[in-house]
Amino acid sequence: MSPHSETTHHSHPATPTVNSGSVTVCASVAALTLIVAVAGSWNVSLWTDEAATISAATRSLGELWAMVHNIDVVHGAYYLFMHFWTNAFGISPFALRLPSALAMAAAAAGVYRLALVIAGARAAAVSGVVFALLPRATWLGMEARPYAFTAAAAVWATVALLSALRRPSIGRWAIYVVLVTVGIGLNIYVALLLGGHAISVILDRRNGWPQRRMFVGAGFVAVVLASPLVLMASKQTGQLGDSEVTPSLVLRNAVVNQWFLGDTPTTTTGGSVNPLAAGDPLSWWLPAAIALAALCWLLVAAAGLRTVRSPGDLDAETRRGAVETLRWMLPWLALPTLVIGLYSILVKPMYSPRYLSFGTPAMAIIIGVGLLMVARRRVRTTAAVVIVALVIPIYLSQRQPYAKNSSDWVDAAGFVAANRGAADAVYFSPRYPVTGSIVGQTTRGIGTAYPQDFLGMHDVTLETSAVAAANLTGFSRLLADSVDQLVGVGTVWVIRRHDYSPASAQRDDDLLGEAGFHPSLQWSGPLSIVIQFVRQ
């Protein structure tokens, strides 16, 4: 049976016509998302993950090729793009983060188009605004990492899939294959989107066997095209998360952090940068995120119950939109979190909220549709106003200078630059306890993120540069093995984290003292300590 004959009895609703009005609203939603994402992005200090982007993107193509064969192949496509971008626009915080903001604008256009197809014009406009304001989305738009691009790839892949199912053609299926492959190339976890799509395709009985066979074939081609990346990544340990994962952590993140907070502006001790204070709106982000999550999940649950239990109260278009939203958004949201969460708990840690950011468009649409399904207009308006009010303190917390995991690098580097001499040296201390004679992780990322502030300074413990080591950080010697590098040096700057072992810090200070150095100036932030040691 041909696709056309099988769909005669199980036809999909016609795809909404693209007109000047819908184009205008779509462009407005994308512009709003771009403005919200870009605003204040230049004020926030760069941090460890963004230093990795700089380290990878600023090397030659040959050096980048060598690096991804050794580490971080899962982000290789993004690094390749950022190589050309940084060559053109530099590595300022604004320049680094602008591509993510543009990707979020593209994702917002996809949210509008997808919601228009499945739920109508009103739902599309509301979902687009929800997406622009959703805390995970506002965080993605100012993060120089590939996660914003995965959100754009995922939503447009879903648009392409619906188009291919409703008006089958080789070209439409090819577009779907390309978008899924690109998404997997940006983040391997996007492969789980195929699982979510499979559930949705099966649940929709209007899809005959021809469409289902085409979907299976398209998914297979996408997986085959992405398989070299997956195989390379499987040989690179530590690429997909290595932090301890517990059931309570996964549940808390899936309910709140994953969508309604972004990343927490924590200090090294896990406390808030701004302790909760009634008179300080910048400290309200945590209760606001919890309240926002509770309200949005309530809207989603109420919409689902109303759709299932009281379908007679809804007109045909509203009910169809609600059913389509649940059918397509819930598998997209739930399956990746469930699979990664269970695997992380039972087998190996692989979970991080940011890795599942490609589900953000689905969350925005399901909230938007849920909001419109509130029966009473006054309650609906009140809920919308409360959502905006709760978003504000979270948004402000994301635009604080130290918002990215308390990274205070911009001020720490500025302190060094304001007080250093041309011939000064710098010691980037280890990040973690050292068991051998070679150190991998140090505080050198601050020098990568703000190289102009350390230009010309002698790196006392550097053994192998990141480029020569074909990794993101390079290798260092112990300070005890680098004392000879201090000959002729009058001033050395020590940069360490607050959670650096006190015993190790004391040993370092004693070594410098034995070499004739004594502490002079000192600066301390929520993450870093900078100490100037002067030879006397």
pLDDT tens figures, 85-103: 999 999 999 999 999 999 9
pTM: 0.92
Beta bridge pairs of residue 532: 493
- Residue among 328, 335, 308 at smallest CA distance from 204: 328
Q: Compute the residue count for the chain.
A: 536
Distance CA 460, CA 430 (A): 13
Distance CA 107, CA 364 (A): 11
Rounded to 10 degrees, the C-alpha dihedral 59/472/57/66 comes to: 60
Strand, helix or coil at 434? coil
- Residue among 454, 451, 453, 432 at smallest CA distance from 442: 432
Q: Which long-range contacts (CB under 8 A, 24 or more apart) does 19-28 make?
A: 22/112, 22/116, 22/121, 22/124, 25/112, 25/121, 25/124, 25/125, 25/128, 26/109, 26/112, 26/113, 26/124, 26/128, 27/109
List the chain pLDDT tens, one digit each, 536 residues.
Answer: 334 434 434 455 555 656 766 899 999 999 999 999 999 999 999 999 999 999 999 999 999 999 999 999 999 999 999 999 999 999 999 999 999 999 999 999 999 999 999 999 999 999 999 999 999 999 999 999 999 999 999 999 999 999 999 999 999 999 999 999 999 999 999 999 999 999 999 999 888 899 999 999 999 999 999 999 888 888 775 555 556 788 998 999 999 999 998 777 666 554 545 555 656 666 788 899 999 999 999 999 988 888 877 766 677 778 888 899 999 999 999 999 999 999 999 998 888 899 999 999 999 999 999 999 888 899 999 999 999 999 999 999 999 999 998 899 999 999 999 999 999 999 999 998 888 889 989 999 999 999 999 999 999 999 999 999 999 999 999 999 999 999 999 999 999 999 999 999 999 999 999 999 999 999 999 999 999 999 98
Q: Six-digit token pair at 250? A: 């996964």
Q: Please answer whether residues 189 and 357 qualify as being in contact, where contact means their C-beta atoms are separated by less than 8 angstroms.
A: no
